[in-house]
Amino acid sequence: MSESEPEVPEWMHLSDNEELLWSGHQSMWTYIPTYLTGAILIAAAAALPIIGVSLPASIPVTILGVSVVLVIAGIGVLAVTYLQYRTHLYAITTEQVFHRSGILSRNIDQVRMEQIQNTSCNQSVVERLLSFGTVQLDTAGTANVELNLWGIHGPRKVNRIVTNRLNEMSTGSRNQPAQESTQAT
């Protein structure tokens, strides 16, 4: 494997002729609102004792208890959000597209390339500015099965990798991997 080829994640098993074209996870930007919520909870916990100094004597004990709860909640929100970021993984091979998720339990969704009929790349204005978005893969032959690569960095590039591979498969160069392979960070 050359330096330009992405490393195959340990949770994937590739067939003999299958190659990894791209792997990555959701952009950190997709989690900013949740990180801000955790930070606000911790900041509120820090501010409550300061506010409590000017209150009657019986209230600061209650404020201290609320502060502890807010700190625990804030740290919990930050920890779960980070774990979600680390556990939502995507991979595209010459034969399939994968999505792995789950913190305690593990879910792996996979769609074979030959089942994909349409691809689309969606980005809001903010997502375009921050260079992330969603690639949607619509499939054939199954009821409502689709795979969304949500919040990924460089969605147009990822969409192009899938589209190029689908074009290669339709023209008969099935064992030729897409020229543009990359690994997201």
Residue 41, token pair as written in the block: 């909870």
pLDDT of residue 48: 79
Distance CA 77, CA 25 (A): 19
Q: Does residue 155 or residue 62 have the better pLDDT?
A: 155
58 pLDDT higher than 70:
no
Buried b or exposed e, range 133-171, using 16+ CB within 10 angstroms: bbbbbbbeeeeeeebbbbbbbbbebbbbbbbebbebbee
pLDDT of residue 103: 87
Phi, psi (deg, nearest 5) at residue 168:
-60, -40
Range name among 32-46, 59-73, 166-180 with the lowest pLDDT average: 166-180
In sequence order, what E strands does 102-183 have? 107-112, 116-122, 132-139, 146-153, 182-183
Sign of the alpha-carbon dihedral angle for 71, 77, 80, 82: negative
pLDDT of residue 53: 60
pLDDT of residue 1: 44
pLDDT digits (tens, 9 = 90+) for 105-151: 999 999 999 999 999 999 999 999 999 999 999 987 766 668 999 99
pLDDT digits (tens, 9 = 90+) for 24-35: 999 999 999 999
User: What residue spans of 53-181 are helical by DSSP H?
Assistant: 59-87, 125-130, 155-170
pLDDT of residue 46: 86
Q: Over pLDDT 70: what percentage of the chain?
A: 82
Residue 8, token pair as written in the block: 């195959």
Sign of the alpha-carbon dihedral angle for 184, 38, 123, 138: positive
User: How, if at all, do strands 182-183 and 20-25 pair?
Assistant: parallel
Q: Are 3 and 43 in contact (CB under 8 A)?
A: no
Q: Does residue 47 or residue 159 have the better pLDDT?
A: 159
181 pLDDT higher than 80:
no
User: Residue 8: which pLDDT band, with cuts at 50, 70 and 90?
Assistant: confident
